[in-house]
Amino acid sequence: MPTPSPLTPSRGILLIADITGYTVFLKESELEHAHGVLSDLLSVLVEGTRPPLAVSNLQGDAVFSYGIDTGEVGGQTFVEMIESIYIAFRRAIEQMVLNSTCDCNACANLGALDLKFIIHHGEFLIQNIGTNRELVGSDVIVAHRLAKNTVTATTGVRAYAVYTTAAVEALGIAHLTGEWIPHREVYDAGEFECWVADMTPTWEAARNRSVIEIPGSEYRGKASVEIALPVEHVWHRLGDPEYRRILIGSDRQVRQGKGRLGPGEVYQCHHGDNVVPSVILEWLPFTRILTRDLIHVPGSTIHLLVDYGLAQTESGTVLTMACARPEGSTLARASFTAVVPAMMKAVEGALGVFKERLETEAVAPAASRG
């Protein structure tokens, strides 16, 4: 991420990921083991801080990061980034507990640790001090003030993400706040309206998620392209109807819902006078989208699973599109088999167009990005 001149104010997201319960954990645990646990968990938080976020510094049992406004990632994608960090954190603790044969207090007390996030948006200056990028400004102070809050005392929620009104507006996620708890914090600096997202249901859903498995023999065609951008950037566009239409080859796409994208959401795909549905069956952030699409074939229609897979590489992200399990009449399935080669050639072309558009926009001035 480019760093502006230290004298040039930047605007963007401020994020604090703070391990809760660590002070008590430290007092009741052996110092050597407790320090090892903290080091491992902080590494999980740092590794989860992905573009457009960058780590500013480590602050004891917390990671402070920021993201300069670029338009590359926002909205639901940012929320999913926070959730993915929390899931990785809880998985790390779960694995530590399962793999430990130690009976020390540190290992026994692991379950007392949890995580909270503070997400604010505002103006700040960046100062390079050694290997750290130190942020200064009144909004930086606000973010740190909010880390000392009354959320748990007021709501009973222990693991959470607090989004300030400024962050909600900047990220364009007002349509998601219906799932969250309105909250207010009062400090000598003023009152701050916030929204609290409970992280525990996110972890429980991830633990209990049943992934739709498709045997290799059921795939009928597959094509891939490598895009020279981080997986978060590609994922953000993959759910956007304006970009999805490129991959589907439709004139335009329209979402039926207005809330959070996920399983059950329907895209209406316009192909001339024909409007066909594409229903999301699986939504695994930064990894996979699986849809069930109605496809027109000569003389009939079929239903087809379309599998979008993402994989991070050293140089970017590989996006793979595959089709599987055609359902319909015997005639429809025969017609589909006949058109698969031409269809996959069209998919390869669409992937190329998708790649070119994303990479072109990434190097264009921020003001010209969609």
Pairwise CA distance, residues 269 & 291, whole Å: 12
Q: Is the pLDDT of residue 198 over 60?
A: yes
Model confidence band, residue 90 (pLDDT cutoffs 50, 70, 90): very high
**pLDDT grade for 189, boundaries at 50, 70 and 90:** confident
Q: What is residue 107's predicted lDDT score, i.e. its pLDDT?
A: 65
User: What would the pLDDT profile of 15-37 be if each residue is shown by its tens digit?
Assistant: 999 999 887 777 666 666 667 78
Tell me the domain boundaries of the chain.
Answer: 10-207, 214-368
pLDDT band at 239 (very low <50, low <70, confident <90, very high): very high
Residue of 210 and 47 predicted with greater confidence: 47
CATH number of 10-207: 3.30.70.1230
Please state the rounded mean pLDDT for residues 114-119.
Answer: 97
Model pLDDT, residue 35 = 75
120 and 13 Cβ atoms separated by less than 8 Å: yes
Tell me the pLDDT tens digit for each residue of 333-350.
Answer: 999 999 999 999 999 999
Higher pLDDT, 159 or 188: 159
| Total-model pTM | 0.88
The 3 state secondary structure assigned to the chain is CCCCCCCCCEEEEEEEEEEECHHHHHHCCCHHHHHHHHHHHHHHHHHHCCCCCEEEEECCCEEEEEEECCCCCCHHHHHHHHHHHHHHHHHHHHHHHHHCCCCCHHHHCHHHCEEEEEEEEEEEEEEEECCEEEEECHHHHHHHHHCCCCHHHHHCCCCEEEEEHHHHHHHCCHHHHHHCEEEEEEECCEEEEEEEEECHHHHHHHHHCCCCCCCHHHEEEEEEEEECCCHHHHHHHHCCHHHHHHHHCCCEEEECCCCCCCCCCEEEEEECCEEEEEEEEEEECCCEEEEEEEEEECCEEEEEEEEEEEEECCCCEEEEEEEEEEECCHHHHHHHHHHHHHHHHHHHHHHHHHHHHHHHHHHCCHHHCC
User: Span 46-57, mean pLDDT?
Assistant: 91
Does this chain's domain 10-207 share its CATH topology with 214-368?
no
Split at pLDDT 50, 70, 90, the class of 258 is confident
> 33 or 225: which carries more pLDDT confidence?
225
Q: Is the pLDDT confidence value at 1 over 60?
A: no
Q: Are 87 and 206 in contact (CB under 8 A)?
A: yes
214-368 architecture in CATH?
2-Layer Sandwich (3.30)
Query: What does the mean pLDDT of the chain come to?
Result: 90
* Mean pLDDT for the stretch of residues 89-113: 77
pLDDT > 80? residue 103: no
